[in-house]
């Protein structure tokens, strides 16, 4: 939430810097590397150029994902998963504030000298702007989700120049991929990586266009919307400056009125929904109304321990069947990619199906599996149409394994090349 109920922090606790301009790139979410001293590192660091997930999973977690272990094909390597909430919840946080509280604890205990995270621009609370936070009180300024991508990693060199040796980074998957690819040469003594899942991102400008559309559709003032979240119960939650909240079923949203390129190709073809290279992923998809933690390695366990009794947690649940939902999604993605109108439900049926979906649709981990499979099929369909030559590099073998039950097979020239070269777990030609 981006309201004004956040406590003020000392100005020096949050460092904001003027950044160099980005270098021109093709597929790029401006993670910040092209703005650093050696912008040529994009070639090695970018998830859109020649990613190597198996190698980086092994570097970070000691092994690559193991399809024989439950859920690793979908969510990447992990030790355990939790359904969790921070108690008491933090005002102004996106969910209960687990992410912010972890960063506060790292600073309070001295485990980290600084936290690299995403604050808001002074003139637009929705616009992400990277910051370095050096005191726990400063984390109050970065709570909540902003919409869009911003050059988080451009602050790595300034962090090192200021003498911060133990750094925590909170990032979305495309930022975390580049961070891990360059981790060994960055020269930090300790790096804590807290990742959030990410999907369907776009530029802040386009997000504002969506808010305007949503506002007029719902007869609300778009400028008064302070919070938006796509929840796992098939509703979008909105909060308003006057304290009201509304939950709108997905089916009642004006999504079909968005232009076909509303989401950039980067975000339509991004293969790492669950942030597999983070030490700890903090999301909500598998949380059935609570938060969802994926603890991936020792450092992830260390992070969870920092919360002690402030964290209430249990095992995630799983219910329902995803296959039909993913199949229907694929059919619509194929129509949209082919320039055909989406199959629309008659208006009279929408409220009924919107009411039914939370009751009969996949829930908990099954909902998260469905979303990951939807992303996999979406990546294949969009890249095949718009950038077929990038497929062999951008789509690792596990994406094909996720898409295979829906009839999508790699054609000649699409098989993983570099992207899957270290994987023994998934056949490269599927
Ligand atoms: C664009 C985007 C899409 C997301 N999509 C999903 C999804 O589909 N499924 C899912 O389970 N979770 C998703 N998340 C994560 C989810 O919204 C919550 O951020 C996460 O669960 C943490 O909640 P919290 O209360 O612990 O966060 P808070 O304590 O409120 O902290 C939020 C943290 O997110 C970071 N952040 C905020 N905006 C951005 C941004 N634009 N770019 C990079 N970092 C940012 C900030 O550094 C901040 O530290 C998404 C997050 C983003 C930014
Ligand atoms: S996303 Fe990052 S690594 Fe990739 S091209 Fe853009 S700046 Fe470079
Ligand atoms: S959807 Fe993927 S590419 Fe787009 S901003 Fe999120 S992590 Fe980056």
The CA-based dihedral angle spanning residues 305, 285, 267, 124, taken in that order and rounded to the nearest 10 degrees: -70
Tokens linked to 61: 């977690």
Burial 214-252 (b: 16+ CB within 10 A, else e): bbeebebeeeebbbbbbbbbbbbebbeeeeeeeeebbbb
User: For residues 366 and 321, is the Cβ–Cβ distance under 8 A?
Assistant: yes
pLDDT in tens, 158-178: 999 999 999 999 999 999 999
What spacing in Å lies between the alpha carbon of 428 and ligand 1's midpoint? 33
pTM tops 0.85: yes
What spacing in Å lies between the alpha carbon of 417 and ligand 2's midpoint? 20
What spacing in Å lies between the alpha carbon of 31 and ligand 2's midpoint? 5
- Main-chain phi, psi angles of 45, to 5 degrees: -100, -10
Q: Give the pocket of ligand 2 (CB within 6 Å).
A: 25, 28-31, 33-34, 42, 45-46, 48, 174, 178
pLDDT band of 340, cuts 50, 70, 90: low
**Helix, strand, coil percent values for the chain (each to nearest 5):** 40, 15, 40
pLDDT in tens, 229-266: 999 888 999 999 999 999 998 878 888 788 878 999 99
pLDDT in tens, 351-397: 665 666 666 689 999 999 999 999 999 999 999 999 999 999 999 99
- Smallest-distance ligand from the CA of 22: 2
- Main-chain phi, psi angles of 46, to 5 degrees: -95, 135
Nearest C-alpha neighbor of 249 from the set 342, 158, 155, 354: 354
C-alpha span between 190 and 112 (Å, rounded) = 8
What spacing in Å lies between the alpha carbon of 30 and ligand 2's midpoint? 5
Please give the number of the atom of ligand 3 that sits closest to the Cα of 266. Answer: 3
User: For residues 273 and 198, is the Cβ–Cβ distance under 8 A?
Assistant: yes
Nearest C-alpha neighbor of 48 from the set 269, 252, 338, 263: 269
β-sheet with 245-249: strand ranges across = 225-230, 235-240, 245-249
Please give the number of the atom of ligand 2 that sits closest to the Cα of 48. Answer: 4
The CA-based dihedral angle spanning residues 330, 336, 337, 340, taken in that order and rounded to the nearest 10 degrees: 120
């Amino acid at each position: 939430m981006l309201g004004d109920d956040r406590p003020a922090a000392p100005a020096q606790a949050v460092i904001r810097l003027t950044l160099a301009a980005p270098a021109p790139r093709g597929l790029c979410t401006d993670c910040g590397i092209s703005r650093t001293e050696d912008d040529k590192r994009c070639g090695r660091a970018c998830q859109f150029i020649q990613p190597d997930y198996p190698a980086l999973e092994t570097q970070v977690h000691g092994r690559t994902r193991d399809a024989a272990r439950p859920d690793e094909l979908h969510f990447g390597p992990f030790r355990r998963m939790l359904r969790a909430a921070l108690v008491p919840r933090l005002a102004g946080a996106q969910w209960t504030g687990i992410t912010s509280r972890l960063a506060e604890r790292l600073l309070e205990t001295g485990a980290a000298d600084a936290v690299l995270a995403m604050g808001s621009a002074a003139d637009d609370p929705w616009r992400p702007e990277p910051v370095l936070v050096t005191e726990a009180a400063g984390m109050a300024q970065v709570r909540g989700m902003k919409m869009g991508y911003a050059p988080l990693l451009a602050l790595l060199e300034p962090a090192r120049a200021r003498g911060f040796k133990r750094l925590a980074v909170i990032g979305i998957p495309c930022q975390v991929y580049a961070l891990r690819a360059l981790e060994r040469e960055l020269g930090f003594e300790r790096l804590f990586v807290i990742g959030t899942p990410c999907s369907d991102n776009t530029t802040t400008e386009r997000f504002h266009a969506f808010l305007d559309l949503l506002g007029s559709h719902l007869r609300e003032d778009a400028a008064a919307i302070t919070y938006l979240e796509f929840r796992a119960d098939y509703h979008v939650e909105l909060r308003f400056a006057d304290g009201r909240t509304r939950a709108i079923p997905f089916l009642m949203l004006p999504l079909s009125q968005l232009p076909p390129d509303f989401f950039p190709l980067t975000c339509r073809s991004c293969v790492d929904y669950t942030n597999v290279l983070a030490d700890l992923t903090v999301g909500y998809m598998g949380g059935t109304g609570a938060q969802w933690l994926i603890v991936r390695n020792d450092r992830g366990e260390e992070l969870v321990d920092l919360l002690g009794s402030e964290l209430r947690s249990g095992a995630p649940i799983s219910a329902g069947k995803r296959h039909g939902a993913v199949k229907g999604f694929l059919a619509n993605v194929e129509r949209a990619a082919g320039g055909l109108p989406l199959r629309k439900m008659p208006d009279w049926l929408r409220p009924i199906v919107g009411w039914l979906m939370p009751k009969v649709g996949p829930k908990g981990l099954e909902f998260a599996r469905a979303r990951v499979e939807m992303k996999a099929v979406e990546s294949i369909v969009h890249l095949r149409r718009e950038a077929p030559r990038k497929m062999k590099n951008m789509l690792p073998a596990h994406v094909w394994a996720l898409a295979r039950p829906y009839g999508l097979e790699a054609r000649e020239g699409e098989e993983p090349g570099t992207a899957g070269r270290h994987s023994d777990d998934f056949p490269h030609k599927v």
